[in-house]
Amino acid sequence: MTTKSGATMSADNKKQNPATITAQALGWVEETTRSVTPPIYPSTTFERNTDLSYHDGRCYTRTDNPTYDQACAVLDALEGGAQTRLFASGMAAAVALLHALSPGDHVVAPKVMYWALRSFMLDSGVRAGLTFDFVDNGDTAQWVKHIQPGKTRMVWLETPANPDWQITDIAAVADAAHKAGAIVAVDNTVATPLLTRPIELGADIVMHSATKYLNGHSDVLAGTLTTANKDSEFWQRVCKQHAGGGGVLGVFEAWLLLRGMRTLSIRVERASANAMAIARHFENHPEIAQVQYPGLESHIGHDIAKRQMTGGFGGMMSIRVKGGGKRAVDFHNQCKLFKRATSLGGVESLIEHRSSVEGPTSPVPDDLLRLSVGIEDAHDLIHDIETALDLSK
């Protein structure tokens, strides 16, 4: 099969395992040189034919650059989607959905979610005439209660939710939303399509901060949206926002994103295994008040997570340290392997005192530390935490 950008690809990729889809990047081979590494097309514009048509339909790089094609196709295959768009950041992708709404539209979202997006909703979203209700992530009855037929236009889910990793029952909430005529969008950044496929559970659109696990190397800022129905009226508005708003991904960043996705499977598998090992080691530790990780049977959302996550529970977790906020900060200052930095999903392990990042209105307890577990040796990471706990007493 030949793609729009002139590459050949395997015709049976939908039957392949995600590990094969990512490692092979769908097996595309550039026709001119037979290169297995995709080329970068830096051109911002494309020549017209003498009849004023375009050679392959491409006009201008903002939406038509061929460097985008393979990354979008890989995400379509991973998510089971019909079309993907790449954005300059995860925030740009999420905001494009909000901009596709109309004044007066009602949105239901989680109380605990990515803080920057929640802040945008309550500031720019409200000023744009949108209304919001925020509910507990794991309480399906609360979701159903706040979804209003004829009024609610979008239901925004984030599961596992940052930073307490609560789990939302995507299928149950999607069913209630669709009965009310609402669109369901899911932030799948933490789970990745390797562990959760929201479209199969009823979601209409899946969003990623591709800066995180999809790229996986802490060197690209990117966002993605993947739709289940590319012909829907709402998705067409999103595409217009994508093209007209200008928040598109650079071609070099798109190339790096695809390179990162080729190791997605092995990175997510290793990070998930490391996080589970750390969670089990510290679950009943005398210096830890609570470990928040959906893979633990003690986690309030474990049963739902076990049902809708396959292959692991991800590399994100939080720990609440005994001794309060000061002890938590002292502890995280003593970590050596875990770097004190924002973001998540990279190959390196990170630790963050989340409440100080979010500020005085944050709902996050000041004794909570968010851990993005990387792909290092699990025993070394456990030793790093143990040593930091001892030094912070």
Active-site residue, from 58, 69, 85, 114: 114
Confidence label for 12 from pLDDT (cuts 50, 70 and 90): low
Confidence label for 27 from pLDDT (cuts 50, 70 and 90): very high
Catalytic status, residue 62: yes
Question: Is the pLDDT assigned to residue 122 strictly greater than 60?
Answer: yes
By the 10 Å C-beta count (0-12 exposed, 13-18 middle, 19+ buried), 291 is classed as buried
Question: Is the pLDDT assigned to residue 223 strictly greater than 50?
Answer: yes
The pLDDT of residue 1 is 47
Q: pTM of the predicted model, to two decimals?
A: 0.94
Q: Which residues pair with 85 in a beta bridge?
A: 225
Give the mean pLDDT of 62-74: 93
Active-site residue, from 187, 204, 367, 384: 187
Question: Is the pLDDT assigned to residue 352 strictly greater than 60?
Answer: yes
Give the mean pLDDT of 159-163: 96
Catalytic status, residue 212: yes
Task: Give the whole-angstrom CA distance, residue 127 versus residue 257.
Answer: 34
* Chain mean pLDDT for the chain: 94
Give the mean pLDDT of 174-184: 98
Q: How many CA atoms lie within 13 A of 369 on its CB side?
A: 32
If we measure between CA atoms, which residue out of 281, 272, 371 comes closest to residue 331?
371
pLDDT digit string, tens, across residues 33-44: 999 999 999 999
Residues 177, 152 contacting (CB under 8 angstroms): yes
Residues 223, 209 contacting (CB under 8 angstroms): yes
With vertex at residue 246, the alpha carbon angle to CA 241 and CA 251, rounded to the nearest 5 degrees, is: 120
Task: Give the whole-angstrom CA distance, residue 385 versus residue 379.
Answer: 10
If DSSP states are collapsed to H, E and C, what string results for 198-265?
HHHHCCCEEEECCCCCCCCCCCCCCEEEEECCCCCHHHHHHHHHHHHHCCECCHHHHHHHHHHHCCHH
- DSSP structure string for 123-168: IIIHHTT-EEEEE-TT-HHHHHHH--TTTEEEEEEESSPTTT----
pLDDT digit string, tens, across residues 140-155: 999 999 999 999 999 9
Task: Give the whole-angstrom CA distance, residue 150 versus residue 153.
Answer: 8
Catalytic status, residue 303: no
Confidence label for 23 from pLDDT (cuts 50, 70 and 90): very high
Give the mean pLDDT of 232-239: 97
CB neighbourhood size of 96 (10 A): 22
Active-site residue, from 197, 212, 267, 354: 212
